[in-house]
Amino acid sequence: MNIEYDNKDKLLTIKINEEIDHHAVEKIRRRADYEIQRYMPKRVVFDFNNVSFMDSSGIGMVVGRYKLISMLGGELSMINVKENLYKILKMSGVSNIIPIKEAKI
């Protein structure tokens, strides 16, 4: 997991570098919540470029962070979402509440 914080834009980028399943989610959740509470960012981006697999555990994790970030007055979005991840984000309705953005090239 790579964390980047842009102080000027108050933008926290959380880049996940593993398959997101029930096993992985525990650790991701703990670290993400720690960084979010530490920086109090205006915007948080989950970068899924290095995520080749995600199941419903990932949906729960993303929605959980969305709730925390919203409560703290921030916004969450996702970038570099692969086809197979998009399928379940769409099916569960998550992509309706958390925007999927095009990555800057």
Ligand X SMILES: Nc1ncnc2c1ncn2[C@@H]1O[C@H](COP(=O)(O)OP(=O)(O)OP(=O)(O)O)[C@@H](O)[C@H]1O
The residues that touch ligand X, with contacts defined as CB under 6 A, are 56-57, 60
Q: Which is nearer to another protein, 45 or 59 (CB)?
A: 59
Q: Which is nearer to ligand X, 45 or 51 (CB)?
A: 51
CB of 7 to another protein, least distance (A): 29
d(CA 95, CA 86): 8
By the rule CB under 8 A, 3 interacts with another protein: no
With CB under 8 A as the contact rule, the residue among 51, 59, 78, 98 that binds another protein is 59
Binding residues for another protein (CB under 8 A): 19, 21-23, 25-26, 29, 53, 55-57, 59-61, 63-64, 83-84, 88, 91-92
